[in-house]
Amino acid sequence: MNTLIFATNNPNKVKEIRAVLGDGFDIITLKEAGILIDIPEPHDSLNANASQKSRTIYQLTQKDCFSEDTGLEVTALNGAPGVRSARYAGDDGNAEKNMEKLLFELQKYQDRSARFRTIISLILDGTEYFFEGICEGQIIGSAKGHQGFGYDPIFVPNGSQQSFAEMGMEEKNKFSHRKKATEQLIAFLKSR
């Protein structure tokens, strides 16, 4: 069994990635590893933020680890909120406020296309590797559904009629950016 530390404090991300990993791989969260820190995401790219998280944990533990950073990139807003997705409505914002702001900003545009993009940074034996997963879709006019997290209620992936928040995790994982990035991570780990 290959064990990796997953440098996140977000239980939703842990659940989604555990569902994809399957036999042969296990992840332990920061909490399970006894690391009680919140790692900042100060950079202007997903790669740099993901990298900061995994490098911080590697420096602390010297153990194989990975992190991920995800952004929602809206075409009409030139890729915003992107790397600022978590803090789009301000530092004391939350998912509701972020969605409210996004729907307000998008009011004047016809083009509702958007994509989630996940970058995974893996540190294995001290070397860093990156993986990417993208899910294309549309921002709908108002929130639908109560599952998932973040912007899930206002995002409908291409090929579905349901928002991510109307789907169970298994259904979300048929489309998900995070699933695609994780599959690449698994393929890489299996190939070694």
Q: Which residues are catalytic?
A: 69
Q: Which residue is nearest to ligand IMP (CB)?
A: 150
Return the number of the residue (98 or 182) whose C-beta is nearest ligand IMP.
98
In 3D space, the residue among 3, 9, 15 whose CA is nearest the CA of residue 179 turns out to be 15
Q: Which two tokens stand for residue 150?
A: 């973040």
In 3D space, the residue among 141, 107, 118 whose CA is nearest the CA of residue 66 turns out to be 118
Residue 133 interacts with ligand IMP (CB under 6 A): yes or no:
no
In 3D space, the residue among 154, 144, 38, 65 whose CA is nearest the CA of residue 102 turns out to be 154
Q: Kindly state the smallest distance separating residue 64's Cβ from ligand IMP, in Å.
A: 21
Size of the site for ligand IMP (CB under 6 A): 17
CB-based burial label for 99 (10 Å; 0-12, 13-18, 19+): buried
Return the number of the residue (150 or 189) whose C-beta is nearest ligand IMP.
150
Among 25, 58, 131, 151, binds ligand IMP (CB under 6 A): 151
Is the Cβ–Cβ distance between 118 and 70 less than 8 Å?
yes
Residue 10 interacts with ligand IMP (CB under 6 A): yes or no:
yes
Q: Kindly state the smallest distance separating residue 62's Cβ from ligand IMP, in Å.
A: 25
- Neighbour-count burial for 100-130, b at 16+ CB within 10 Å, e otherwise: bebeebbeeeeebebbbbbbbbbbbeeeeeb
Among the candidate windows 17-25, 52-60, 102-110, 142-150, which touches ligand IMP by CB under 6 A? 142-150
Interface map 92-131 toward ligand IMP (x if CB under 6 A): ---x--x-----------------x---------------
Q: Kindly state the smallest distance separating residue 86's Cβ from ligand IMP, in Å.
A: 4
Q: Which two tokens stand for residue 77?
A: 């807003």
Q: Kindly state the smallest distance separating residue 165's Cβ from ligand IMP, in Å.
A: 8
Peptide bond into 40 cis (omega under 30): no
Residue 152 interacts with ligand IMP (CB under 6 A): yes or no:
yes
Q: Which two tokens stand for residue 99?
A: 């969605």
Residue 69 interacts with ligand IMP (CB under 6 A): yes or no:
yes
Binding footprint of ligand IMP on the chain (CB under 6 A) = 10, 41, 69-70, 72, 85-86, 95, 98, 116, 148-152, 164, 178
